[in-house]
Amino acid sequence: MVTIPPILEQGKISVFEFQENGKPIFVRHWNDEGCINALCIAISNDDQYVACGSHGNLNLYLLNDTWKSEFPKPLKSIPYLETRVNQLQFNNSCDMLAIGYCFNADMNTGSYRLLHLRSLTLFSNFPGTKSKVRPTSLCFSPNDKYLAIGQYNGRVALMNLKYYNKY
């Protein structure tokens, strides 16, 4: 049985369980605090965190808190991102969250940030000030040493994350 939380526009997240026959069964709702036009959601591989992105805002919750309350309080809220969050990706060891966002509707400009989950802080030096990457997708390598960023222009930027030394 797989549990999948689809997101609704006003920030109400519906949780469904998919049975072996593929039929979804509604389980419950919970609300993403301060959500304005929900755009994406991600759950960490260890089922500890859930991240919700919307226009200019990111909320990080402990997944267990979303089961205990219909109105859970975010563990971390990051308001005032330049614009809408359209990509979220937890790394494989579940200690970092990549956040991609675009500046306008045609997605030809944008940026990305990394959130360190243990300290709940954004990496201040990532990306560098000269970065012109416009993300359309984000993916970590199996050992988290690299972050691949698919770009609007069809290219992929491969970032070497020196925080990890597993390669």
CB-facing half-sphere around the CA of 65: CA atoms within 13 A: 17
CATH (one of 3.30.450.20, 2.130.10.10, 3.40.50.720, 3.40.50.150) for 2-160: 2.130.10.10
pTM metric for this prediction: 0.84
With beta carbons less than 8 A apart as the criterion, state whether 35 and 57 touch.
yes
Tell me the CA distances in angstroms from 104 to 9, 35, 87, 108, one per residue in order: 18, 18, 14, 7
| CB neighbours of residue 1 within 10 Å | 7
pLDDT per residue, tens digit, the chain (167 aa), is: 344 455 555 788 888 888 888 888 888 889 998 887 777 899 999 999 999 988 778 899 999 999 999 999 999 998 866 667 888 999 999 999 998 876 555 555 667 888 999 999 988 777 755 566 677 788 999 888 899 988 877 888 888 887 766 55
pLDDT at 59: 93
